[in-house]
Amino acid sequence: MRWEELDQQPCSLSRTLSVIGDRWTLLVLRDCFLGVRRFDGFEKRLGVTRHLLADRLKKLVEHEVLQKVPYQQRPLREEYRLTDKGLALHPVIMSLVSWGDTYMADERGAPIEHIHKGCGKRMKPVMVCSECAEPVGARDIQVAVGAAFGDDVAQLLAT
Protein backbone atom coordinates (compact mmCIF):
# COMPACT_ATOMS: atom_id res chain seq x y z
CA MET A 1 0.00 0.00 0.00
CA ARG A 2 1.34 3.41 -0.95
CA TRP A 3 1.18 6.41 1.39
CA GLU A 4 -0.82 8.49 -1.10
CA GLU A 5 -3.42 5.69 -1.38
CA LEU A 6 -4.21 5.43 2.34
CA ASP A 7 -7.42 7.42 1.98
CA GLN A 8 -8.78 4.78 -0.42
CA GLN A 9 -8.30 1.79 1.90
CA PRO A 10 -11.28 0.05 3.53
CA CYS A 11 -9.76 0.81 6.93
CA SER A 12 -10.69 3.72 9.18
CA LEU A 13 -7.18 3.92 10.62
CA SER A 14 -5.63 4.17 7.14
CA ARG A 15 -8.09 6.89 6.15
CA THR A 16 -7.40 8.78 9.36
CA LEU A 17 -3.64 8.53 8.89
CA SER A 18 -4.03 9.99 5.40
CA VAL A 19 -5.12 13.22 7.12
CA ILE A 20 -3.29 13.35 10.47
CA GLY A 21 -0.63 10.66 10.16
CA ASP A 22 2.59 12.61 10.07
CA ARG A 23 4.56 14.11 12.94
CA TRP A 24 4.16 17.76 11.97
CA THR A 25 0.39 17.46 11.65
CA LEU A 26 0.14 15.84 15.07
CA LEU A 27 2.28 18.61 16.56
CA VAL A 28 0.10 21.25 14.89
CA LEU A 29 -2.94 19.57 16.45
CA ARG A 30 -1.20 19.45 19.84
CA ASP A 31 -0.60 23.18 19.62
CA CYS A 32 -4.19 23.81 18.55
CA PHE A 33 -5.38 22.08 21.72
CA LEU A 34 -2.92 24.21 23.69
CA GLY A 35 -4.49 27.38 22.26
CA VAL A 36 -2.20 28.28 19.34
CA ARG A 37 -4.22 29.72 16.46
CA ARG A 38 -1.97 31.86 14.28
CA PHE A 39 0.52 30.83 11.62
CA ASP A 40 3.40 32.67 13.24
CA GLY A 41 2.59 31.03 16.58
CA PHE A 42 2.82 27.56 15.04
CA GLU A 43 5.97 28.50 13.15
CA LYS A 44 7.69 29.85 16.26
CA ARG A 45 6.75 26.92 18.51
CA LEU A 46 7.45 24.15 16.01
CA GLY A 47 10.50 25.52 14.21
CA VAL A 48 9.15 24.04 10.99
CA THR A 49 9.64 25.62 7.55
CA ARG A 50 6.90 27.97 6.38
CA HIS A 51 6.24 25.79 3.34
CA LEU A 52 5.78 22.61 5.37
CA LEU A 53 3.59 24.34 7.94
CA ALA A 54 1.42 25.93 5.24
CA ASP A 55 1.02 22.52 3.61
CA ARG A 56 -0.09 20.84 6.86
CA LEU A 57 -2.49 23.65 7.77
CA LYS A 58 -3.97 23.63 4.25
CA LYS A 59 -4.59 19.88 4.47
CA LEU A 60 -6.27 20.23 7.87
CA VAL A 61 -8.50 22.99 6.50
CA GLU A 62 -9.33 20.97 3.36
CA HIS A 63 -10.40 18.05 5.56
CA GLU A 64 -12.42 20.38 7.83
CA VAL A 65 -10.34 19.61 10.91
CA LEU A 66 -9.47 23.31 11.15
CA GLN A 67 -11.20 26.38 9.80
CA LYS A 68 -9.73 29.74 8.96
CA VAL A 69 -11.37 32.60 10.83
CA PRO A 70 -10.53 36.28 10.18
CA TYR A 71 -9.16 38.18 13.16
CA GLN A 72 -8.17 41.32 11.22
CA GLN A 73 -9.69 42.87 8.09
CA ARG A 74 -7.05 45.30 6.76
CA PRO A 75 -4.95 43.56 5.80
CA LEU A 76 -6.94 40.35 6.03
CA ARG A 77 -5.38 38.02 8.58
CA GLU A 78 -6.80 34.68 9.59
CA GLU A 79 -6.28 32.26 12.43
CA TYR A 80 -6.90 28.53 12.57
CA ARG A 81 -9.58 27.13 14.84
CA LEU A 82 -10.57 23.56 15.53
CA THR A 83 -13.89 22.52 14.03
CA ASP A 84 -16.16 19.94 15.67
CA LYS A 85 -14.36 17.37 13.53
CA GLY A 86 -11.04 18.65 14.89
CA LEU A 87 -12.26 18.72 18.49
CA ALA A 88 -13.26 15.06 18.07
CA LEU A 89 -9.52 14.29 17.78
CA HIS A 90 -8.96 15.34 21.40
CA PRO A 91 -9.21 11.77 22.76
CA VAL A 92 -6.63 10.66 20.19
CA ILE A 93 -4.17 13.38 21.19
CA MET A 94 -4.80 12.74 24.90
CA SER A 95 -4.18 9.01 24.43
CA LEU A 96 -0.88 9.69 22.67
CA VAL A 97 0.13 12.14 25.40
CA SER A 98 -0.79 9.64 28.10
CA TRP A 99 1.27 6.93 26.38
CA GLY A 100 4.20 9.34 26.18
CA ASP A 101 3.81 10.30 29.84
CA THR A 102 3.93 6.61 30.77
CA TYR A 103 6.64 5.31 28.46
CA MET A 104 8.69 8.28 27.23
CA ALA A 105 8.92 10.67 30.20
CA ASP A 106 12.20 11.15 32.00
CA GLU A 107 12.72 11.03 35.77
CA ARG A 108 10.87 14.33 36.18
CA GLY A 109 7.61 12.77 34.96
CA ALA A 110 4.97 14.27 32.72
CA PRO A 111 5.85 17.72 31.34
CA ILE A 112 2.20 18.83 31.29
CA GLU A 113 -0.52 17.88 33.75
CA HIS A 114 -4.11 17.68 32.60
CA ILE A 115 -6.57 18.88 35.22
CA HIS A 116 -10.27 18.04 34.96
CA LYS A 117 -12.15 21.32 35.36
CA GLY A 118 -15.12 19.52 36.92
CA CYS A 119 -13.33 18.06 39.95
CA GLY A 120 -10.00 19.90 39.90
CA LYS A 121 -7.95 16.68 39.90
CA ARG A 122 -5.15 15.53 37.62
CA MET A 123 -6.57 13.08 35.13
CA LYS A 124 -5.56 10.47 32.58
CA PRO A 125 -7.72 9.49 29.62
CA VAL A 126 -9.65 6.24 29.98
CA MET A 127 -11.46 4.46 27.18
CA VAL A 128 -14.89 3.18 28.16
CA CYS A 129 -17.60 1.24 26.35
CA SER A 130 -20.20 3.59 24.91
CA GLU A 131 -22.96 1.18 25.95
CA CYS A 132 -22.13 0.15 29.53
CA ALA A 133 -19.41 2.66 30.56
CA GLU A 134 -17.02 -0.14 31.61
CA PRO A 135 -13.34 0.64 31.01
CA VAL A 136 -12.01 -1.28 27.98
CA GLY A 137 -8.54 -2.24 26.82
CA ALA A 138 -7.20 -4.15 23.83
CA ARG A 139 -8.00 -7.53 25.36
CA ASP A 140 -11.62 -6.53 26.03
CA ILE A 141 -12.60 -5.92 22.41
CA GLN A 142 -13.32 -8.24 19.53
CA VAL A 143 -13.65 -7.08 15.95
CA ALA A 144 -16.02 -8.04 13.16
CA VAL A 145 -16.34 -7.04 9.52
CA GLY A 146 -18.71 -4.10 8.97
CA ALA A 147 -21.92 -5.14 7.21
CA ALA A 148 -21.19 -3.13 4.07
CA PHE A 149 -17.60 -4.29 3.56
CA GLY A 150 -17.33 -8.09 3.28
CA ASP A 151 -14.25 -9.51 1.54
CA ASP A 152 -12.43 -6.14 1.33
CA VAL A 153 -12.08 -6.05 5.08
CA ALA A 154 -12.05 -9.77 5.86
CA GLN A 155 -8.41 -9.97 4.75
CA LEU A 156 -7.51 -7.29 7.31
CA LEU A 157 -8.94 -9.47 10.07
CA ALA A 158 -7.32 -12.71 8.91
CA THR A 159 -4.57 -13.76 11.28
Checking if the pLDDT of 157 tops 70, the result is no
pLDDT at 159 > cutoff 60: no
Give the pLDDT mean for 146-158.
69
pLDDT, mean of residues 123-144: 92
Max mean pLDDT among 57-66, 120-129, 130-139, 145-154 falls in 57-66
Q: Is the pLDDT of residue 70 over 90?
A: yes
**pLDDT, position 12:** 82
Model confidence at 39: pLDDT above 90: yes
Domains defined along the chain, listed by start? 3-88 (1.10.10.10), 91-125 (no CATH)
Return d(Cα 23, Cα 95) in angstroms, integer.
15
In this structure, are residues 55 and 62 in contact, taking their beta carbons and an 8 Å threshold?
Answer: no
What is the structure's pLDDT at 8? 67
Task: Answer whether 11's CB lies under 8 Å from 153's CB.
Answer: yes
Tens digit of each residue's pLDDT (9 = 90 or more) over 73-102: 999 999 999 999 999 999 999 999 999 999
Give me the percent of the chain exceeding a pLDDT of 70. 89
Question: How high does pLDDT run on average in the chain?
Answer: 90
How many Å is the Cα radius of gyration of the chain? 19
Query: 10: Cβ–Cβ under 8 A, 6 or more apart, which residues?
Result: 149, 152, 153, 156
